[in-house]
A and B are shown apart, each in its own frame.
Chain A
């Protein structure tokens, strides 16, 4: 009762969808935390948990996807609302991909064996990348929720850091030539690094969606085919 704003039901539905999407990103953050933990402590059980929990992310994806379709069909959103709805479709896709990258990492962890020959320089950088990726994910969520274009654009700067670390790990791995076990470990870490770098890219993409919602224009912040760094 009382003075309900016009289209209250639709407004509530859209807010709920956005909230579920943000919740999905929170789940990703949680997964990244676990990945970092599993990597640093070679925790195979935690890795298995991450893989199993990816179902929650997939479920969240389907839920929001269906919600978006329903909203489009029934409520005919236009202008700003339409941009939010379109953006949510992209954001959940990125969220789902981020979850998949976590799963990819965790699939590799058991392959490293019980006592992997951890190489300090590489491991440091892996940890650093994971922390940065987590940080980017948290920030991209905040940027979208608060419609903060500046914050979204800043993600590019942070992502450069991850990209740099990724290249460094690659070069370091090349240097490690001697032991077959060490080489195997290093190759695996390169793949982990790649996955973490992809997580960062997806966070930047979410930032691009933020800019789209606010400005109505879609502009790639950092286009991999036009490297600026």
Chain B
């Protein structure tokens, strides 16, 4: 942060820099109704989302998300439980299509194409956008077959497969660990290795985006650190969108952070996820524009 800039008109109430002993609940009446987006919109976007709503059986779960996810960034999605960050993440590779009763409205533009256009095949979408889940989920097959699964679906020939597998494992910083035991069952690996295997598996199809849903929450701190380092290495080739509960992780790893909340204004049983603020990570954690973001990152609510 450049400390010597001319001060913009920062509203002290909005920025919420209160006294240490005032843990006042986020004052929604003074908070802005529109999400605050302080990200350079002219940069190249990997996903351009506007008006994204997600409904489950007709009930609104996530409302009106408009967010530009930029190429080459690691974007973190943070927010309290139930704020829709995982739901929104799953929109990006049409995984929500698989949930009966789920409906996605709005537009998500990926490489100039609306992902949800009628002509678009969700299976093809998922071949180009990788996903890593919260609990490592390797297939009960050999390490080799795990990695080869995606490429085989895409028709990669047997002769080329060895190279594809090695390349994916190299990129996931796992090659040295497993190069002598590719035929071993993946279940024999430790949790951290299994998750890196899942990352390698997702990378094997050379996606340009990797979606990660709390990838480290089931792992020990050392494995978590390795995966965070991996993410930073991958950034050059793969844009990453990560949902995380761990704010320190978001602070350590991401370039941009999007903060979601649960909006209860329609009633206690009408919990709707909404985007509040999207800004460079440094800003979110040093001087967020919205008082609700301030309250959340300092742990005063949520």
Contacts and interface: CB of A to CB of B under 8 A. Distances in A.
Tell whether any CB of A sits under 8 Å from a CB of B in the complex: yes
Chain A, interface SS category: helix
Nearest to A81: B298
Nearest to A84: B20
Given A76-B248, A81-B298, A219 B288 contact: no
Contact of A14 (B10, B20, B284): B20
Nearest to B299: A7
A130 B247 CA distance: 48
A79 B12 contact: no
Interface in B272-302: 284-288, 293-294, 297-301
A217 B300 contact: no
A6 B298 CA distance: 10
A79 B10 contact: no
Determine which residue in A7, A11, A216 has the highest number of CB atoms from chain B within 10 A of its CB, and name it.
Answer: A216
Interface stretch (B1-9, B41-49, B94-102, B262-270): B1-9
Contact of B288 (A7, A17, A79, A212): A79
Contacts of A217: 3, 5, 7, 10
A77 B18 CA distance: 14
A30 interface: no
Interface residues of A, number: 30
Chain B, interface SS category: loop
A5 to B, nearest CB: 4
Contacts, number: 88
B221 interface: no
Given A6-B300, A84-B20, A147 B286 contact: no
Contact of B23 (A6, A82, A219): A6
B59 to A, nearest CB: 29
A81 B15 contact: no
B17 A10 contact: no
Contacts of B301: 6
B12 A214 contact: yes
A18 B286 contact: no
A11 B20 contact: yes
Given A217-B5, A218-B3, A219-B4, A82 B19 contact: no
Contacts of A81: 20, 298
B19 A79 contact: no
B178 interface: no
Interface in A1-45: 5-8, 10-12, 14-15, 17-18
Contacts of B3: 212, 217-218
Contact of A215 (B10, B288, B297): B10
B4 A147 contact: no
Interface of A: 5-8, 10-12, 14-15, 17-18, 76-84, 147, 149, 212-219
Given A15-B19, A215-B7, A218-B3, 5 more contacts: A6-B301, A17-B20, A79-B287, A80-B298, A216-B287
Interface of B: 1, 3-7, 10, 12, 15-21, 23, 247-248, 251, 284-288, 293-294, 297-301
**Pairs of residues from A and B, 3 with the lowest C-beta to C-beta distance, nearest first:** A216-B287, A14-B20, A218-B3
17 contacts: A5-B300, A6-B23, A8-B23, A77-B298, A78-B251, A78-B286, A78-B297, A78-B298, A80-B294, A81-B298, A83-B287, A84-B20, A212-B3, A214-B12, A214-B17, A215-B7, A216-B15
